[in-house]
Structure 1
Amino acid sequence: MDPLIRKLRRYLLQWLHRSRSGSVFFVRRISYKEVRKATDCFQRIVYSNSEVSAYAANFGDGGVCLVKEVKEFDRGNDENFHRQVQLLGRLHHRHLLSLKGFSLGHNRKSKRLLIFDNIENGSLKEHLNDPLKTPLNWRTRLQIANGVVAALEYLFLFSEPPISHVSISSSNIMLDENFTPKLSDFGLLTGGSSVLIPPYSQDSTGQESSKIIFQLGVLILELVTGQSSEMEGSDLIEWIQESRFFSSIDKMLDPDLGNNYDCTELKSLLAVAKLCIKSWDKPSYTIPQLFRYLQKETDIPQD
C-alpha cells in the first residue's frame, strides 16, 4: 500500500473512532493549561453553587470569557459532557452566551469546562450591588428584563431538544460590552439522565416552569429595587405580595434611578413580577404570555 494512502487511512479510521465515541468537532477544544492560565488558576470566581462554578477568563484576544465548570461532569462522565457541548454548540440567540469552546483535563478527575464568549461588563449582580460600578439606567434595566424572557422563550419553544435546566439570578445574567443581557446557566439535566422533559409540555407537572417563572419575578424585583435576592429575596417577595404595594413603590425603588424612569413602564414591570411570584404556588402563566405582557402586546391581568 502506498505510504501516503496508508497515512490517510490511519487518520480516517481515527476520525471514525472519535465520532462514534461522541467526541466534538464543531466546538473548539481549548487546552486545560490555557484555561487555567486565563482564569488565574480558577481564582476569578463570578458565581458558584452546588452544581456550577463560573470563572472570568482572559485568553489574550481582547475579550472576557466565562468558563463554567458543571460539577456533575467532573466525575468522569465524558459521554454526557460531550452531549452537553454538542447541544450548547447549536444554540444561537442574542440573549444567550455563545459557546466558544470546551476543555478537558489530562485525567478523569480533572475539571470538565465549558467556555462561553463575551462578558465584558461582568454580571448583573455586580452592577446592582457594587457601589463602584456605574448604575444601570431605567432603559437598560427594562431591556434586561425583556432580554431574559426572550432567551427563555427561545430555550423552551425553539430549542431542539428543549432545554431541561435553566437557572435565573442576577449572578448568572452576564452583560456584554453594550450591556446586552446574556443568560449563562442553562443546559441539559446533569445527573446522567438521558430523559429530557420540556417545562411547557402538556404532560409536564409544571414544577420546573413555576420555579423558573418565580426566579424571573425575583430578578425583576432586583432590577427595580437594586436590592439583593439573597435568602430567596424574602423581603422583596413579601412586599410585592402586599395588596397595596403600589403605594410604597417610592420607598422601594432603587435610589440610583432617581426620577429617570417611566412610571407606566415601572408599574407594568412590577405587575409582571407579581404574576411571576404568584406562579410559585400555581403556575398560571407561561413564558410566552409573560413575554407578550412585557412587549405590551396584550394587557396584563389584574387581580
Structure 2
Amino acid sequence: MDRLTPKIRHLLLAWLHRTRSGPISFIRQFSYKDIKKATDDFHRIIYSNSHGSAYRARFKDGNIALVKEVTGLSEGKEIFYKEVQLLGRLHHRHLLALKGFSTGDKRLLVFDNIENGSLKEHLNDPLRTPLNWKTRLQIAVGVTAALEYLLFFGGPPVYRVSISSSNIMLDENFIAKISDVSLKSSVGTYMKMPSSCSKECMDQECGNLIFQLGVVILELITGQSSKQEDSDLIQWDQGSRLSNSIHKMIDPDLGNNYDSRELRKL
C-alpha cells in the first residue's frame, strides 16, 4: 500500500493540472461551423443584453440548445477555459446546464435543451396556451432557489447573474432554468472578490437581483411582460393603484383558477 501512495498522488496531481488549464476534458467541444449552421448564422436570437447575445440552436440530431456568446474576456483562451470549467461545475435543477463550448470568430457556450423556449415567449405569445397558476408558482420558487444556490451555496460568489423573463428558459416539463450566468470579469481577478469587495457592494448586488426577481414575479402574476428596462410594468402597476386590490392584478387568462393565499404570499 505504501508503494502505491506515490503513484496515486502522481495521478491525482496530473488530473488536477489538466482540470486547471488548457482544453476541458469533461465538457464537449463543439465545432464552430456546426454551431454557426445550427443558429442559422447567428440569426436565431433569443435575447440580447449588456452581457452578450444568446441564440437558439437546432443541431442535425434534432437537439435544441441555447448558445451564448462570451464577451469581455480579452485575456486569451486560458481565461475562457477557466470560465468553462467553473460554469461546468454548477449543478442545480433550476440552472441551465452547460453542455459544451466552442472557439472561433466567437467564444461560445452551449447549454442544455430549451424545448419550451423562454418565459417571455409564453407571456407574450397569444397563440400559446397560458401558463396555469401552479406552473407560475413553480417558476417563481425555482428561480428563487437557483439564486439562493448561487449566492449562498455555490462557493465564493464569483458569478454575474441576470434574471428576466427573456433569459428564464422552460424545459419540456416547464421547469424554469436561469440561463444568464457568467463570470463577472477575468477569473484571475474576480476570484479575489470576497476580500476586495465591500459589504455595501455585495448588498447592492443582492438588492439588484431581488429587484429583478420582483419584476419577474410581477410578470407572472399579471401576465404582462416588461419591455422598457422593467420601468413600464412597474409604472403601470403603481399608476393603476392595483396594489390596493391585489386580486385585480391577476392575469385575466387565469380567471379564478388561482389560490388567493398563495397570491398574497408570492
Q: Please tell me the TM-score bracket, short chain as reference.
A: 0.7 to 0.9
- Aligned residue in 2 for 1:67: 67
Give the match's secondary structure for 1:214: helix
1:123 to 118, 131, 142: 118
- Aligned-partner residue type, residue 146 of structure 2: A
Residue 262 (structure 1) aligned with residue 231 (structure 2): no
Contact 2:43 2:55 in 1 (8 A): yes
Give the match's secondary structure for 1:71: coil
Contact 1:239 1:245 in 2 (8 A): no
- Aligned residue in 2 for 1:208: 205
* Residues 26-105 of structure 1: pairs in structure 2 closer than 5 A: 26-73=26-73, 75=74, 77-105=76-104
- Aligned-partner residue type, residue 39 of structure 1: T
Map Cα deviations across residues 154-199 of structure 1 (whole Å, 9 max, x no partner).
111121343430001000000000000000001211367622446x
Residue 134 (structure 1) aligned with residue 134 (structure 2): no
Residue 184 (structure 1) aligned with residue 183 (structure 2): no
Q: Distance in 1 between matches of 2:145 and 2:98?
A: 18
Give the match's secondary structure for 1:34: helix
Give the match's secondary structure for 1:232: coil
- Work out the percentage of aligned pairs sharing the same amino acid: 64
Give the match's secondary structure for 2:72: helix
Map Cα deviations across residues 102-142 of structure 1 (whole Å, 9 max, x no partner).
0001xxxx100000011000000000011111210000000
Q: Distance in 2 between matches of 1:217 and 1:143?
A: 15
Contact 1:173 1:183 in 2 (8 A): yes
Q: Distance in 2 between matches of 1:55 and 1:117?
A: 12
Contact 1:53 1:71 in 2 (8 A): no
Range 213-222 or range 248-257, more displaced:
248-257
Shift of 1:241: 5.8
* Count of paired positions: 248
* Residues 182-261 of structure 1: pairs in structure 2 closer than 5 A: 182-190=177-185, 194-196=189-191, 197=193, 203-205=199-201, 206-238=203-235, 245-261=242-258
Contact 2:115 2:172 in 1 (8 A): yes
Q: Distance in 1 between matches of 2:68 and 2:47?
A: 9
- Aligned-partner residue type, residue 129 of structure 2: T
- Aligned residue in 1 for 2:107: 112
Q: Distance in 2 between matches of 1:53 and 1:141?
A: 26
Contact 2:159 2:183 in 1 (8 A): yes
Give the match's secondary structure for 1:231: coil
Runs of 5+ in structure 1 lacking a partner? 1-14, 270-303
Contact 2:242 2:248 in 1 (8 A): no
Contact 1:46 1:56 in 2 (8 A): yes
Map Cα deviations across residues 65-121 of structure 1 (whole Å, 9 max, x no partner).
000002224x5632221111000111111000010000001xxxx100000011000
Q: Distance in 1 between matches of 2:219 and 2:207?
A: 19
Give the match's secondary structure for 1:117: strand
TM-score (norm 2): 0.84
Q: Distance in 2 between matches of 1:245 and 1:159?
A: 38
Runs of 5+ in structure 2 lacking a partner? 1-14
- Aligned residue in 1 for 2:169: 174
